[in-house]
Amino acid sequence: MTKQGATIRDLDAIGFNRRLRRLATPQECGALFADTIAPFGFDTFASGEVDLKDRDRSAFHIIGWPDSWRDFYMSAGLIDRDPIVDEIALRSEAFTWTDLRASRKLSKLGTEALEKAAAAGWVEGLIVPLPQASGRIGLVSLAGHRDCADLADVGYLTLICICLHSYVRTLVGRHGFAIPPAGLSAREIAAIRLVAHGKSDADIGQALGIANSTAHEHVEKAKRKLKVRSRAELAAIAASLGIVDL
């Protein structure tokens, strides 16, 4: 312990957070995070948010997965049936793949997912759930090639996961999501940001260099995709998704 009562790991996490917040893009943040978790045996990670009420509004901020795993995850529809996603609805603290296996509640698809992960060389994972408002849960999920049984390591990794998620969430509205919520296009996200700041279709058209009618179409498509009826609702959901900071 230090004289102030903080552990060395606490100070390491503070240092990580300081370095993180000097970075300008999600990609830069992801590279720093990947380098930081590597000594603990973790090879890849993903960060994002799950909407438990409407999985279509779930989003990935950063994905560090190999293409083969990403393709399997998307093609298998795991966002709707991922055992990790199901589990974060029940847990508020970090947990591992070992914990999942021990619960004996894995579906056939969940078991297949962990088997495919093992075939890729990942024998353990660490999941850090971060409850948000309105039924949304932030999530940072790590996968690696060795066990993660040291409680001090888990505590440190949990802290830096919280740092990563909270900061990257402020960047994705401007720099883009790895996988945006509800399949929103970059132009639709740009239009949503302007709606959230009270801009009219004419204002949006001028800001984006497009016709007013095209701006209106982007807004209407975004409303349909996010299943909202008004521009006020669109602004509110934009804030909850991290598309805009109000």
CATH topology of domain 8-175: Beta-Lactamase (3.30.450)
- Residue 19 has a pLDDT of 96
pLDDT of residue 1: 39
What pLDDT is attached to residue 85? Answer: 75
| Confidence (pLDDT) at 246 | 56
**How many whole angstroms separate alpha carbon 189 and alpha carbon 222?**
8
Residues of the chain short of pLDDT 70, as ranges, are: 1-11, 76-81, 83, 104-105, 245-246
Helix axes 201-208, 186-196, angle to 10 degrees: 130
pTM score, two decimals?
0.85
Selection from 246, 181, 191 nearest residue 216 by Cα: 191
Structure tokens at 13: 């996490």
The position carrying tokens 């701006």 is: 215
Q: Which CATH number fits domain 183-241: 1.10.10.10, 3.40.50.150, 3.40.640.10, 3.40.50.300?
A: 1.10.10.10
Average pLDDT over the chain reads: 86
Signed CA dihedral, 65, 69, 86, 186: sign only: positive
- What pLDDT score was predicted for residue 159? 95
In 21-66, which residue ranges form alpha helices assigned H by DSSP? 26-37
Q: What is the pLDDT of residue 11?
A: 67
For residues 41 and 13, give the distance between their C-alpha atoms in angstroms, rounded to a whole number. Answer: 18
pLDDT of residue 205: 96
Predicted pLDDT at 2: 41
Domain coordinates of the chain in residue numbers?
Answer: 8-175, 183-241
Specify the pLDDT at position 203: 96
